Amino acid sequence: MNQPWLLLTLVGADRPGIVAHVTRVLFGVGAELGETAMMRLGNQFAIMMMVRGAGNPEEVAGLLESTRADFGLKLHVDEIDAALHQHREPDVSVTVHSADRSGIVADVTAALLEAGMNILDLRSDVGGSTDKPIYIMQIDGESSQGIEPIEQCVARFADQGLTVRVTPLETMRG
């Protein structure tokens, strides 16, 4: 019987070797890795990883305790109801540029939900300078009602100084 998937989350100050150490421990016990997302945010490094075959959540946390302590990471392990090969392809991309202000993410994502968009991936960054910060957000998702409702819904942000571009995505399958 297949063991359940676990979602492993690790967060800490970015340092060389985190990924190598975590994956070496998991490989050493014969764990299977599923989907992963790893990225640097600010000066922090975050890992989200599907893992199975390394034990229950407490056992996996125990396996990684030395690595967690050595790198000063926060570690969280949960059993999840997941499977591989469930990837969903986005059919729309929304790009937002604006002077940085509070509420941009909340306002835009609420509007996209209203327009029938399911967000699959969201990335944001603050560019510009300390005096003139620029907020940049890239959102990919599925448009259940088509592109037009999304374009109509985000058009109202022009009055608020946001530049929003909606782009349909063509997905090649084969």
Q: What total of structural domains would you count in the chain?
A: 2
Judgement on whether residues 62 and 98 belong to the same structural domain of the protein? no
Asked whether residue 87 is domain-assigned, the answer is no
**What is the pTM for the complete model shown?**
0.79
| Same domain, residue pair 96 and 128 | yes
Q: What is the pLDDT of residues 7-45, one digit of tens each?
A: 999 999 999 999 999 999 999 999 999 999 999 998 999
Rounded to 5 degrees, φ, ψ at 105 are -65, -45
Q: How confident is the model at residue 130 (pLDDT cuts 50, 70, 90)?
A: confident
Give the residue from 80, 106, 127 where a domain finishes: 80
Does the residue 173 lie in any domain? no
Pairing state between β 44-52 and 5-13? antiparallel
